[in-house]
Structure 1
């Protein structure tokens, strides 16, 4: 590349071989002297005439130059004068390969003697993919160089520093000298972004478009590049923008103080796409497992849609762990994650009395489909299964917040909808539920559900439905299950499948609804139910062994039932006005909304599905007749043997108040909810021979203090008394010398979120990543049980920007948040009169300064008089670094974890981590 000299007049001299014409030579020399004499008059352009832009196009250069010669005639083609049609000499490349564009605000000056072009103030030059912005640019046409620098103003400030851009690489130096022919450059005091970091160098040599050499440079991810809090000193380095940085001796400087942490050579990948690479492990020592290496492995960038992380732990006593983590996503289609964790935990050494070994695993998979992918079908998955004690004894610090989980659950489902009249839907679902205490596992592999939408056979053609007849509707539902109940030790073994039970249930509900006496809404219906099963039972009494025998009968069998129901309800509004003329009371009015309803249900007796067998004693006498049904092990229940005719009563309440708004500018009263709901329900069995009234169940809830305090409560009230053996008797409690109702159970739960950072800020201490980890493990959506301690994966987030400080003065409010959860349960069904559970849990965070944050999660069990698992957290923002300390001071999970490392993901392996893990008892 080179720049062509610009002038107002140029003469093209053409020399021909084979003969000499003295007259033409003399004429050409005279013309050249004449033109050059007048060309120097245009060295400095008129200041009033501003040259904003000039473009030289190589394709039009010849025609432009010839047009300036008034004496030039039509040029005779050289080719036509030469008898040789082909030339063996390769023609030279055009002097300019690209269009040159330049611009300056103040002046654009060309010096004909020095062959230099000067651009001043907001200067810009573009040539191909090269772009230079600077305050002062000088182009030397003889040396083929471009020199760009800033402008020094009257007060000594250096402004308009050069910005050199070539392709996607951007360099911001103090000055730059660029050779347009060789494309090499010397760059002084440059700052170049390379991936997430920045290279600061006094002198940089640009070899070509893709290679830079630096000496005594600094590589940092700090935000303050003028005074970085840390940097890696690169004594000699080669930079390939967008690909890599290769360096010789390099070590870390913290606030310009050298540290012994360094390498004789280094390699920094700078790919703009995700790349595979090694994950450096953390080393340490554990009391009962020896020295260890944790969380080391390899990251595989499989494609733009999926990745894979393989991690492992190893302990010198033989314990080890392996983890596979994968995330995948496709825009507008789906996204999800998959994880498998396996741990072989060994305590002590083989041969010692305290030696023990355990193998645990956990499988997690979540998948969600974008709503735009397919509106008529949907596939989703949420899987969390494995060893029942995985979260309790796992070494992985990610599982801290899920150690108190008692249940693991999974669900994988696919649903499809066929539009039309009527609409048809079906779904296939596989579910799993596992209790970590009893180690009992319940699964449905799979569950099939199909339905045909509601049909109104008597509706009018206009579409509106009025009255009893036109509102008659029916639909069809089908449900099929293959249900398995097993234990942790038999999971996915042959014995698990032997206990599987399968069946189908067909349901056809027929209902209608209409208005009665204008204010009452009445509904009535009937339901037909048919159950298919493939296993039944047969029972008989073995007089030889004197025992009852139950046999499983394989084969198809079925039973059919039906019932009738009707209900009537209405809504009653009550308003209590407190306003009086001439008084501005705080409470304006209270509105009470009641929704009473009465229902009646008939369930016929289907005793034809029941059989009996005789129990014969040793003397040959029949002692009893035992009734049973062969469908008693059906997964959809058994047919009703007793006729029931019951009346149900329910009453729901809602209380709201209108109060004077504290805002004096408000024109209307503010609505405040006193009780979200207060519900009562009971039933009376008309066909029953005793204990016809069922207990009254009461439940309610409300929210106070601008919805920061949420309260829910419930109770069970029994109208019948107890005998001396604490059994219910056919006698009302009030007739037995007691109260109208006997409180048999009660519960109260309350949660309170407090913060001085405004509404909704009480969960600021818990990130979306923490919540996702908790929920995927089946835990809570808060930090009351603690948070994950995997600090090494908490990389710098660019999504959440820091809040702007209002000013630099001291802010007297220290940001804090507090979360409280209170729960108490009362039991008195057998006159035990005890508090079955009583606990208070709390968690909170305090931001002592802009960079210091402390937090805690704990609780107290008032029944067992002890603290729940407690976690204390300390976090320090060190600008480019982050320091975390987590401590569980007492309990079964007594441990601590310290971490300090760089926030940037590219240098996430530059860290120090020290921990003491809890001693696990297998």
Structure 2
């Protein structure tokens, strides 16, 4: 339906036919006119010659140009100057089509020139959309009025909504000028980039500027009664850009607070913007007052950003941290971080004064699988000072305090498709022990391989038999390995002990079946090793000791071996069903995978040298060594071995009756994922030919919520009085057939109230932060403690759970994670528990908005608690409050935070950190 200006219908012209009573007179006049129009006149014939006039010359004659009289007359049309209007034509009231509708009625008042739409009225004009209970259009004043409906009880309904472009305003009433596009909005509520603006009177200047009087700015989801807001006496709003105000102060539940400013600026944007990162305040007994995690955020582009943080302590300590994330869709994504801290303990002149510098570098890069299927680049780097996580005082590193290892890997892989396929990769690795400060690096490792080639396989059909399955491939591995320490890291001395080597191998194998049920495989492997690092040992008579000389230069050795194995799979079924009975356990299936292997490793004595030396007792003794023993791939095998290996794998499954009565098929559960036994017998050995029996197993219980893994080592030989193994079986020495030398048990269990209803939500950002630093993927060692950083928490987490009863909540949300580990040692009759500890972590929602959590553990051997963290969290709807406490250990501290959850106002907070006084 379209709308047209009513004034166009005020003047009406009516045309009617002319009438007369004298039909004959009218007919005669019409006939006469018709004849005169079509008639032609006749000329009179000439009777005599005409007399021509006499022409005389006149001296006073005037010359007339005949040609000018014969020229055709030019038709000139003169324009009346009074018809030309110099005033501009008045612009139409409406320049576009107006669509309108109403559920009640639509009326047009021609006298007042007004259109009224009643009940669920809607008007759409260009990019403007107004919905209200009643809408009145005044055509004289070019105004549109919109308001609510009021029933007989005085209750208002159908409040207006004014939308122009992407801006939506929900007022009580509105006046809009269709010509100037200005508007007056009363009691409006509008959302701007996650914040709500509630104003008594709002003046809309144009599409991009609003002026308000006594407005309220809040991020509360309760628009009708926000628990907090900033009262702005006068303000200017630029949608999706900014809010500039005059005198502003905070109200909490309509109670004014002294928190205010003479003027304020609130950024409004849905895009990344650069800005200041406000720090958190704290106190350290050894370093004084501090500011942590303050800095600046750089929104460089849509593909990369950069955040620079700084820490400062009043005793002179400082820290610097940079974090950057980058991503290109369908290509790659990653993040980069560098942390540096210059820490000063105590004051200069005191005995405990110390000054240390620690750093940490992290880089993670992953390539999208769709970017390039034949090549892939990835990186996972975590390196730096060995004591960084132990000495760092930044609370974000709390969960990585117990890290013992830092590791890194940067790799590039390329595949060349075809027959055969060639795979190449270059990798740089790093492994760092934070306790011993030992660092192992490979810069780089090159690996290449050619896929398996079947030279005797038929061109058509499947491969059958020992000949058809013969295959070989080529592998090459080259390394530049560096062993250094933390103090020599990134110095030229770290390359002094570098080891370089290349290892090439050609494995040849085949497989076939015998007696239908037995699979046989045979393989041999040829290796060639190149190295640039060898040694020479000799006895120095002057110094009376054995000396070692490092040699540099190319050298090589070659080895080979042979192995074969035969195995099968045996299935056993134990049925418990009886006719006429519905047993709970239907059947148990036992799967056994026995295998026997035989290995031959020749002796390569030609690569060994010897020298004579005199012992302290004066005896002449000969020592043997290999010049390759300190090379990157070690020395070749010296002792000939011919061994037989025995392996037995077990798997137990059960079929039980399903608790769901609607299901007819039984449910399959796993009793034992695996139970493995392995040992070997060396035919070439002169004693102790049997190796210990190794037992390992694991299973999942309680719907895969509990993981159990165990292992043990059983030695068949006895010990002498010096606790050394002797060539005598333990059973022949008056003992049991096997002697338990070691055992281990690991149990992990995760359970929560949501386990019975669904999956529990996890804080994935906090997990990623911990894993990138080399920590655990759970909170058994605690959680990162930078509460002000919204990356480490759910900004808009909804804690409102569905309650089964309005008066009583009989279920309390909770979660529990347990990890138990125990190790037993008895290799030398020590018969002791070498380690026995329990780690646990849990959270309990005491109320819909109170959460208590703890991460700790207990060492049963040393009888003490391990690293402990206590967490308290209070959800204050639009606000959140956190308190974290580490009661003991080197990182004993507490952290308190209260602030607004919304990322728009996250810098409005109170954050205090303090390390307890060491004297207490």
TM-score of the alignment, normalized to the shorter chain, above 0.5: yes
Shift of 1:108: 2.4
Mapped to 2, the partners of 1:88 and 1:627 lie a distance apart of 118
The answer (yes or no) to whether the contact 1:152–1:159 under 8 Å persists in 2 is: yes
Residue 5 of structure 2 is aligned to residue 9 of structure 1: no
Partner of 2:565: 567
SS at match of 1:555: strand
Partner of 2:22: none
Distance 1:212 1:673, change over 3 A: same
Cα deviation 1:842-885 (Å, max 9, x = unaligned): 11111111111111111110111100111111111110001111
The root-mean-square deviation of aligned C-alpha atoms, in Å, is 2.4
Distance 1:7 1:618, change over 3 A: closer
Q: Which residue of the other structure, out of 679, 698, 715, is the alignment partner of 1:682?
A: 679
SS at match of 1:431: strand
Partner of 2:407: 409
Residue 753 of structure 2 is aligned to residue 781 of structure 1: no
Shift of 1:10: 6.0
Q: Which residue of the other structure, out of 362, 365, 384, is the alignment partner of 1:364?
A: 362
Cα deviation 1:155-197 (Å, max 9, x = unaligned): 4332222111122211111110111222221100000111110
Counterpart mapping for 1:162-561 below 5 A: 162-561=160-559
SS at match of 2:830: coil
Shift of 1:584: 3.5
Counterpart mapping for 1:106-125 below 5 A: 106-125=104-123
SS at match of 2:611: strand
Partner of 1:51: none
Mapped to 1, the partners of 2:690 and 2:78 lie a distance apart of 120
Mapped to 1, the partners of 2:888 and 2:336 lie a distance apart of 34
Runs of 5+ consecutive residues of structure 1 not aligned to the other structure = 12-30, 36-78
The answer (yes or no) to whether the contact 1:4–1:141 under 8 Å persists in 2 is: no
SS at match of 2:788: helix
Q: Which residue of the other structure, out of 760, 767, 772, is the alignment partner of 2:768?
A: 772
Distance 1:205 1:808, change over 3 A: farther
The structure having more radius of gyration, on CA atoms, is: 2
Shift of 1:763: 5.8
The answer (yes or no) to whether the contact 1:614–1:622 under 8 Å persists in 2 is: no
Mapped to 1, the partners of 2:237 and 2:262 lie a distance apart of 17
Shift of 1:140: 1.2
Counterpart mapping for 1:634-653 below 5 A: 634-653=631-650
Mapped to 2, the partners of 1:721 and 1:86 lie a distance apart of 127
Distance 1:660 1:9, change over 3 A: closer
Partner of 1:25: none
Runs of 5+ consecutive residues of structure 2 not aligned to the other structure = 16-76
Cα deviation 1:542-580 (Å, max 9, x = unaligned): 222222221121111111111111000001111222233
The answer (yes or no) to whether the contact 2:529–2:556 under 8 Å persists in 1 is: yes
Mapped to 2, the partners of 1:920 and 1:501 lie a distance apart of 47
Mapped to 2, the partners of 1:152 and 1:463 lie a distance apart of 86
The answer (yes or no) to whether the contact 2:513–2:519 under 8 Å persists in 1 is: yes
Q: Which residue of the other structure, out of 863, 866, 869, is the alignment partner of 2:867?
A: 869
Distance 1:654 1:281, change over 3 A: same
Shift of 1:115: 1.4
The answer (yes or no) to whether the contact 2:377–2:412 under 8 Å persists in 1 is: yes
Partner of 2:660: 663
The alignment's TM-score, normalised by the length of structure 2, stands at 0.89
Mapped to 2, the partners of 1:234 and 1:176 lie a distance apart of 21
Shift of 1:154: 3.9
Shift of 1:235: 1.0
Cα deviation 1:275-305 (Å, max 9, x = unaligned): 0011111223221111111111111111111
The answer (yes or no) to whether the contact 1:135–1:162 under 8 Å persists in 2 is: yes
The answer (yes or no) to whether the contact 2:718–2:733 under 8 Å persists in 1 is: yes
Shift of 1:889: 2.2
The answer (yes or no) to whether the contact 1:441–1:485 under 8 Å persists in 2 is: yes
The answer (yes or no) to whether the contact 1:869–1:893 under 8 Å persists in 2 is: no
Partner of 1:45: none
Deviates more, 1:118-127 or 1:849-858: 118-127
Distance 1:880 1:594, change over 3 A: same
Shift of 1:85: 14
Mapped to 1, the partners of 2:659 and 2:198 lie a distance apart of 58
Shift of 1:123: 2.0
The answer (yes or no) to whether the contact 1:762–1:818 under 8 Å persists in 2 is: no
Shift of 1:912: 0.6
Cα deviation 1:864-922 (Å, max 9, x = unaligned): 1100111111111110001111112233332211111100001000001112136799x
Mapped to 1, the partners of 2:316 and 2:703 lie a distance apart of 56
Residue 617 of structure 2 is aligned to residue 631 of structure 1: no
Mapped to 2, the partners of 1:183 and 1:233 lie a distance apart of 27
Cα deviation 1:616-655 (Å, max 9, x = unaligned): 5799x88122211111112112111111111111001111
Mapped to 2, the partners of 1:920 and 1:603 lie a distance apart of 61
Distance 1:5 1:227, change over 3 A: same
Partner of 1:750: 747
Cα deviation 1:565-623 (Å, max 9, x = unaligned): 1000001111222233344333232221110000001111111111112225799x881
The answer (yes or no) to whether the contact 2:186–2:202 under 8 Å persists in 1 is: yes
Distance 1:220 1:912, change over 3 A: same
Mapped to 2, the partners of 1:763 and 1:864 lie a distance apart of 34
Counterpart mapping for 1:887-906 below 5 A: 887-906=885-904
Partner of 1:842: 840
The answer (yes or no) to whether the contact 2:121–2:133 under 8 Å persists in 1 is: yes
Mapped to 2, the partners of 1:605 and 1:85 lie a distance apart of 122
SS at match of 1:758: helix
Cα deviation 1:782-802 (Å, max 9, x = unaligned): 111111111111367478666
The answer (yes or no) to whether the contact 1:893–1:918 under 8 Å persists in 2 is: no
Partner of 1:720: 717
Mapped to 1, the partners of 2:603 and 2:794 lie a distance apart of 65
Mapped to 2, the partners of 1:903 and 1:492 lie a distance apart of 42
Mapped to 1, the partners of 2:852 and 2:476 lie a distance apart of 55
The answer (yes or no) to whether the contact 2:162–2:170 under 8 Å persists in 1 is: yes
Shift of 1:463: 4.3
